[in-house]
Amino acid sequence: MTERAQLLIELADDELILGWRNSEWTGIAPFLEEDVAFSSIAQNEIGHARALYELAARELGGDADGLAFDRRPHEYRCAPLVQLRLVPDWARTIARHVLYETADALRIGRLTSHGDAELAGVAAKIDREEVYHRLHAEMWHERLRDEPRYLEAVEELWPQALGVVPPELRPALAERVGRAEVEAVERDAPGEEFAALWDEMTMVRRSAPVGAQW
């Protein structure tokens, strides 16, 4: 796999799995207005994953759905942060949301000036949509900034957040979040929790032969 394809898969897997985790809140968010707002964020993330998989598919073959759903669990490249099951803990969910959006802003922002025009183009579109994710994260951060549960959650998830971005972006992330850089939880082959997620995510798809229409 080329470096470009690896990068695309990493980004796409992050967005797919985070979107999947965020859609676990559908219908059970703290209040109705927020349920609708958070659902849009989850949908956007799936949409970003789709666009990134489509680019990757041009290099790797197949299509976006194939890349999203037909790989074995150990072939996914998502960051530990996005794999965590956080429902029904809203404080940790928002902590992840704030940390992820900050990290993503850095890496996507960097990609918008990438030499590869296709990659830069998709990154720019994602960046523009994520302006609203950042506003949403910011407004929740303001509301929960004195809430002990939230502060504990940010503390707890910080090492994983650092693992979302490559090492050279971590000092910038630390500065933006206002925390000291610590040892990051690096990307690795996904474990048990992911295997359970993958099982549920692919159970319908696997019930028909590969290539079946849905």
Which of 4, 5, 35, 185 forms a contact with another protein (CB under 8 A)?
A: 35
Question: Which of 30/191 has CB closer to another protein?
Answer: 30
Least separation in angstroms between residue 102's CB and another protein is: 17
Question: Residues 41-74, buried b or exposed e (16+ Cβ, 10 A)?
Answer: bbebbbebbbbbbbbbbeeeeeebebbbbeeebe
Interface residue with another protein, options 168, 178, 183, 203 (CB under 8 A): 203
Residue of 1, 196, 204, 210 interacting with another protein (CB under 8 A): 204
Distant-in-sequence, close-in-space partners of 103: CB < 8 Å, separation ≥ 6:
161, 162, 164, 165, 169, 173
Closer residue to another protein in complex, CB, 52/172: 52
For 21-57, give the DSSP string: HHGGGTTTSSSHHHHHHHHHHHHHHHHHHHHHHHHHH
Question: What mask, x for binding another protein by CB under 8 A, covers residues 135 to 174?
Answer: xx-xx--xxx--x-x-------------------------
| Among the residue ranges 104-112, 152-160, 175-183, 200-208, the one whose residues contact another protein (CB under 8 A) | 200-208
* Interaction of residue 37 with another protein, rule CB under 8 A: yes
Nearer to another protein, 92 or 170 (CB): 92
Under rule CB under 8 A, which residues in 52-111 are in contact with another protein?
53, 64-65, 68-69, 88-90
Instruction: Tokens for 174, please give them.
Output: 């630390």
Phi, psi of 87 (to 5 degrees): -60, 135
Question: Is-contact 51 125, C-beta < 8 A?
Answer: yes
Cβ atoms of residues 95 and 153 within 8 Å: yes
Can you give the C-alpha Rg of the chain in angstroms? 17
- In the complex, the smallest distance separating the C-beta of residue 33 from another protein, rounded to whole angstroms, is 5
Burial 114-125 (b: 16+ CB within 10 A, else e): beeeebeebbbe
Please count the CA atoms within 13 angstroms of the CA of 194 that sit on its side-chain side: 23
Least distance to another protein from the beta carbon of 97, Å? 13
| Chain residues that interact with another protein, rule: CB under 8 A | 20, 23-24, 26-33, 35-37, 39-40, 42-43, 46-47, 49-50, 53, 64-65, 68-69, 88-90, 132, 135-136, 138-139, 142-144, 147, 149, 200-201, 203-205, 207-209, 212-214
